[in-house]
Structure 1
């Protein structure tokens, strides 16, 4: 009777092959599709620092005051799709006197923005009522799998891109990310009708003054895998100049450094760690584990199948046709007398 491979050996072999096929699928198919900018977000980041600002009540610049920048980003799930992420962003700048602001419009500065990006590359997509029109590789986040190179960052106040230089690694709340820095030289960003005395022309009632902007320093620390910004610090300076002048006459806003609060740092690190761990599980841990376990199971199943075949072969060699008794031949138990004819 012919024997077949045991069910156990076939199960082990089949499971091993399945895991070996699954491993590259997780790494090359599932993980890349998991690296998509989320659309169902609602996050608040808070910057704090000290500096100067123009007090409209006192009609002069006041100095050494606490300043708070609050930014809320909400994903527009209805307008987003598989390819595009749509985020609505509200940013306000407040001194202590306007906090807590019952209405963001009561803030020192208040802006609304609508960012549309490619969910895979983080590049801008110019659609869906985008505001402002922007370019670059990074703004509210970096692309996935951040590289040790320079990136093009969009400075919304400047209305142009700024090169960010890679500066190594930095730990934020014990979590390591890639650090990038930049500076923005003074640049004209627009005009504003103001009383002449604010730009050194007291004899003129109103002057179309020039608005100028610079940044003492930008520092961003991004999570390597997800591109989430876990730390940010900026040094904005906004001033007024008389038309054609190269001298700042009135300071609207000036701070050497406004940075993420400790609470914001911890929240961003927690989000980055969770997202990064999930991607690592899908892209590294599970594929490697599946490949190793699949290989072991496939080898074990294959060995058992081969042993079963060898056992079958050995059984046929011992009891095969060449060694079987002849069905019509003499029996070893037949005595000689039984073969002699009767004499009776």
Structure 2
């Protein structure tokens, strides 16, 4: 009996199928989690625009119904960042039309420079590398990966504390769906500033006035997979009060709503869609394709191997030769011929 072996094709199919079946969980459980890391080589500008009031230092009074623009630039510090932490330098300016374009950010109505350091996996604060300010909470500039339908603690730098943002359901921005979160900030004293007494209703020359801050409403829409903010709107109100006073005396900045421009919305949506698609490819699409293709190839290879072995066991014997025509029961066997010629 000749023993048949599996064909090379069946072994190749079986091996490739097994490889793809092993690859699927590797992509989903190992590669994708490591791909979920806050980027460090960023250089992005987002622009908010709305109308409101601000204190005009030339006119020495608050002017109303003015267009206001907030420009924020985020640059990653690649040198100070590493596998675990992301270091971002953030410049934010607030301008009325008359100070735009600002050749120097110091010419803006308000300008701040911040340095944010976060854990690249969890998005939590990392207190190192010249961080400024010291901040807490779960989110700032972005949400963590895989945004959940719950309340998040958002860091408000003007307040100097976290603000709870409540999940309000899905919302589409430029046709792209994200998760919407909202919150408000009640009037809170945030510091002091030396100003002429008349600005806070006093006859004294210079007084140490109290700075108060509130926010009419914060609305953020975040990409569900990456945590990138695809829409943001705020309603800041900054005022001055007399020392120990209960009433706002001078409005420094006030707007019911300043939000992302259409251009910024589209740019953020495009970036979120691109990043989310890559994560989906690695974490969902490729593992699913690997499972289906691997299962099909392994099944096909197994069937071919089984057929090959079956043919070797049950097929024709002796290399395909039939009964011996000279066998003992044949009419032409040697014994029969010998008997007839004796």
TM-score range, shorter chain: over 0.9
- Residue 137, structure 1, aligned to residue 141, structure 2: no
1:2 Cα offset (Å): 1.9
Deviations 1:97-148 (A, max 9, x none): 1000000110000000000000000000001100100001111000000011
Equivalences for residues 309-328 of structure 1 within 5 A: 309-315=309-315, 318-319=317-318
Residues 1-344 of structure 1 correspond to what in structure 2 (within 5 A)?
1-202=2-203, 204-315=204-315, 318-319=317-318, 332=330, 333-336=332-335, 339=338
Deviation at 1:342, TM superposition (A): 9.2
Deviation at 1:10, TM superposition (A): 0.6
TM-score (norm 1): 0.94
Measured in 1, the distance between the counterparts of 2:298 and 2:337 equals: 61
Question: In structure 1, how many angstroms separate the alpha carbons of the residues matched to 2:246 and 2:6?
Answer: 89
Give the CA deviation at 1:339: 3.4
Residue-by-residue CA offset, 1:259-285 (whole Å, 9 max, x unaligned): 000000000000000000111111111
User: Residue 335 of structure 1: CA displacement?
Assistant: 4.0
Q: In the aligned structure 2, how far is the partner of 1:45 from the partner of 1:169? A: 22
Cα separation, 1, equivalents of 2:323 and 2:290: 50
Distance in 2 separating the partners of 1:342 and 1:196: 149
**Cα distance in 2 for residues equivalent to 1:55 and 1:70:** 19
List runs of 5+ in structure 1 lacking aligned partners: none
SS of equivalent residue, structure 1 residue 215: strand
Structure 1 CA distance for aligned equivalents of residues 268 and 100 of structure 2: 23
Between the aligned partners of 1:52 and 1:44, the Cα distance in structure 2 is 24
> After superposition, what is the alpha-carbon deviation per residue over 1:160-196, rounded to whole angstroms, capped at 9, x for unaligned?
0000000001110000100000000000100011111
Secondary structure of 1:23's counterpart equals helix
Give the secondary structure class of the aligned counterpart of 2:142: coil
**Separation in 2, partners of 1:241, 1:311:** 96
CA distance in 2, matches of 1:272, 1:336: 93
Instruction: Determine helix, strand or coil for the equivalent of 1:264.
Output: helix
Structure 2 length as normaliser, TM-score? Answer: 0.95
Number of residue equivalences: 338
How far residue 3 of structure 1 moved from its aligned partner, in angstroms, is: 1.6
Q: Report the CA distance shift for 1:39/1:337 in structure 2 as closer, same or farther (over 3 A).
A: closer
Determine helix, strand or coil for the equivalent of 2:247. Answer: coil
Distance 2:228 2:341 in 1: 109
Q: Secondary structure at the match of 1:289?
A: helix
Alpha-carbon distance in structure 1 between the residues aligned to 2:226 and 2:274:
10
**Equivalent position SS for 1:257:** strand
* 1:284-306 deviation line (CA, Å, top 9, x unaligned): 11000110110011111101101
